Structure 1
């Protein structure tokens, strides 16, 4: 296709970037690689490998603030494929700069507000365990994290008690220490944002359920379980991308269906329950609202094994080993009318190796 611009996120700065960079190379494109804003030193050992493995100009690494570097690249019109993982606003702003947007193909992984839905008939032990790891692995700084929990009022108190205890049992520390589950946050100012969202919820009627929730020290923020959360609160609407766990009590399943239907986001969701009628009803309600439905399991990535996509503002295109190769290529067909003259012509092109494209040496 031409030149691919690959931009990965800081939370998975190597893995997610190479999910697009490698397929782009395999399909014959050159790549401009913009490292994420954090973790840039991670790329250092790869520079020599790039230099030794590819001709000059095949992989190009550009550093600096995105607005100063990537904006100029897009405005040049010389980017043919845009592979980006970040916010939908950032992606939209960059795409608008391209002078020929109809020629720009995009593969985008964007924001998410993945809900976890706890039904009245449920294995609470499993639901709590999956909710804790789903909401707080990597401090909740994953697009695939559970960002909001809807819990039926008949199991709410029991769920909150177990959830608070499980959250407070998580070990804080530095990433290289054994058994650590909670670490400092990488973004300057992130704790200030989380405090503002928490205070907004508390001012509008939510409580911090777990002891010490919301306390912070420099860049460390103790996870906070918030309930009851409702639609008036910022944490109900915004993707917090951090260790805040909002819990919304509900009575009627239609309340949850309405939330998912009205949401601007549609990456994934999780359903926790063991009533076939209720689970089946929700699957049918949500199958055209999100890209993946998880039953009795947390939301998770997996483009190496399963299609990784989304609806609404959560994605454009699908990433998987197979789909990524398609994203970075366009199928071309050479055709002719079947007669003896054309058959002889094609036979001679192949036999005399007059074309590297028309060949029987390999089959795609």
Structure 2
């Protein structure tokens, strides 16, 4: 069977879907969490169609998998007012709770969350087309992230559980919450990356508005009861609907203290501009990237191809950390392309539940049309598709395409394609990729492939001042989660990692007093009698 024939027959008939992977029924989400209550929604709803299609006599059709509330501006403001009242200018139960007690609430939530693993994994597969293996990995990694965040906070609090005496001043320095956090995650990692802002925001004492991405809403349905039962009323509040409808009034109110957003820089800029006092808004942003790979003439090409295949095409290239352009020295370009094309032909393409599959249907309607436009633009400027069947489309499925030679005249050179297209640029002098990185609007990561230590050292010394992570002979990636995750230029604001996120969602604050007998007696009494949750020497084990 040819590649074109495989693509044409990619989608199954309904009866061919394995019973264990079918959705028992569409998920009709009709509740939302506000003020500790799961309230029934009676308004308009948004239907959700899977990227997975089924064969019909009229051709492949997307499977309807459920619906969710289309909340409006008034609904969003009601949820915001709840979060503001629950925070109560820092006097609320949650922001004044001990660190140990907040940790206990998060641990209870994690335990409840684990009970719904199979449901969430299945919805990740059906809602965004993530493979079963990657969906399970995303869930498990999220649980690990919660555990690691708890451990990091314990370490941070242990350091703070003592008094500092300097120049006649007694002080205790701890981290305090900021207020109300609006947490908005991306559709490519709707669970994990949403939780990498949500969990640190919560555990540091902020109240939260949780707005899931437009693709990846239904998978939160199994978790609503866990949120309700694990946290005090009003600490976690959910918003469902179009971001352009529910978020502008929230920001315009000036009552959002932290914007945690993972998406595009134009959207982040628009949200930031809505806030009446942007200087008071803490922003934690994960934005676009055009991460390059540089393949030097002495590179181990087998290793480079292996890493570049995974880096550019894992989850169809729909990752901010994906390799989105590959610079290859022209002396090895032909060999690299041959190896890459052979490796690409061996990749499994199909439905998310099929074993060994890497390339799956795309969740965004219209994405295949956009990617096809990028290919046509590249062809019009002299590029070609190197691999057989590259760029073939069947409904929501887009066959990966390797494009060569890509030049600055093409849209693929600068645009973040966020899909399974691999642009390859030949170069004769390493100044070419260096200049491209310097002139790029983005500065998240880079991968460099080579053997000569001095050449690599020279590149490292320059590139660490252009991007936030340099990967040697390995693909770009986020993890491990203890490493800082950020970017320069338009790629990020703030740093996300287990420990950095705790700092991003809090501020250092202190209580100080002159070292006189009266003050020492007062502080000693407060600590001894456990009168304050802030002034304390309790040590969390």
Please give the range of the TM-score, normalised by the shorter of the 2 chains: over 0.9
Quote the residue 1:290 is aligned against: 467
Deviations 1:210-265 (A, max 9, x none): 01111111110111100000000000010000011000000001111111111110
Residue matched to 2:499: 322
Specify which of 232, 237, 240 is matched with residue 414 of structure 2. 237
Of stretches 52-61 and 164-173 in structure 1, the one that deviates more from structure 2 is 164-173
Q: Does 2:191 align with 1:53?
A: no
Moved more, 349-358 or 327-336: 349-358
2:334 aligned residue? 157
Residue 526 of structure 2: SS of its match in structure 1?
helix
In the superposition, relative to structure 1, how do residues 303 and 36 fare at CA in structure 2: closer, same or farther (>3 Å)? farther
In the superposition, the TM-score normalised over structure 1's length comes to: 0.98
Contact 1:3 1:30 in 2 (8 A): yes
Partner of residue 191, structure 1: 368
In 2, distance between residues paired with 1:81 and 1:52? 24
Counterpart of 1:66 in structure 2 is 243
Q: 2:431 aligns with which of 234, 244, 254?
A: 254
Q: Which residue is equivalent to 2:28? A: none
Structure-2 separation of matches of 1:105 and 1:111 = 19
Aligned equivalents of 1:149 and 1:218: distance in 2? 28
- 1:297-308 mapped onto 2 (5 Å cutoff): 297-302=474-479, 304-308=481-485
Q: Secondary structure at the match of 1:335?
A: strand
Q: Distance in 1 between matches of 2:229 and 2:521?
A: 43
- 2:383 matched to 1:224? no
- The 8 Å contact of residues 153 and 250 in structure 1, kept in 2 or not, is answered as yes
The superposition leaves residues 29-68 of structure 1 with CA deviations (integer Å, 9 ceiling, x where unpaired) of 1110001111211001100001111121110000110010
Q: Distance in 1 between matches of 2:429 and 2:311?
A: 24
TM-score when normalising by structure 2:
0.66
Cα distance in 1 for partners of 2:525, 2:476 equals 55
In the TM superposition, what whole-angstrom CA distance separates every residue of 1:85-104 from its partner, at most 9, and x where no partner exists? 10011111101101111111
C-alpha distance in structure 2 between counterparts of 1:262 and 1:93, whole Å:
24
Describe the shift of the 1:53–1:363 C-alpha distance in structure 2 as closer, same or farther (beyond 3 A).
closer
Structure 2: runs of 5 or more not aligned: 1-177
Between Structure 1 and Structure 2, the one with more strand by share is 2
CA RMSD in angstroms comes to 1.2
- Whether the 8 Å CA contact 1:303–1:319 is kept in 2: the answer is no
Q: Which residue of 2 aligns with 1:202?
A: 379
Question: Is there any run of 5+ residues in structure 1 with no aligned partner, and where?
Answer: none
Partner SS state of residue 293, structure 2? strand
Q: Which of 200, 212, 220 is matched with 1:35 structurally?
A: 212
Aligned equivalents of 1:221, 1:251: Cα separation in 2: 32
Q: Distance in 2 between matches of 1:344 and 1:221?
A: 71
- Which ranges of 4 or more aligned residues in structure 1 deviate by more than 4 Å? none
Q: 5 Å matches for 1:350-361?
A: 350-361=527-538
Q: 1:2 aligns with which of 165, 179, 182?
A: 179
1:336 alignment partner, SS class: strand
Aligned position for 1:106: 283
CA distance in structure 2 between the aligned counterparts of 1:351 and 1:245, rounded to whole angstroms: 63
Aligned length: 364
Deviations for 1:318-338, whole angstroms, at most 9, x for unmatched residues? 101101110111111111111
Alignment partner, residue 443 of structure 2: 266
Cα distance, 1:171 vs. partner?
A: 1.6
How far residue 303 of structure 1 moved from its aligned partner, in angstroms, is 5.7
Contact 2:329 2:427 in 1 (8 A): yes
Between 1:275-284 and 1:154-163, the stretch displaced more is 275-284
Q: Is the 8 A contact 2:305 2:336 kept in 1?
A: yes
SS of structure 1 residue aligned to 2:292: strand
Say which of 353, 356, 361 aligns to 1:176.
353
Greater alpha carbon shift after TM alignment, 5-14 vs 162-171: 162-171
Deviation at 1:351, TM superposition (A): 3.1
Note if contact 1:303-1:321 (Cα within 8 Å) is conserved in structure 2. Answer: no
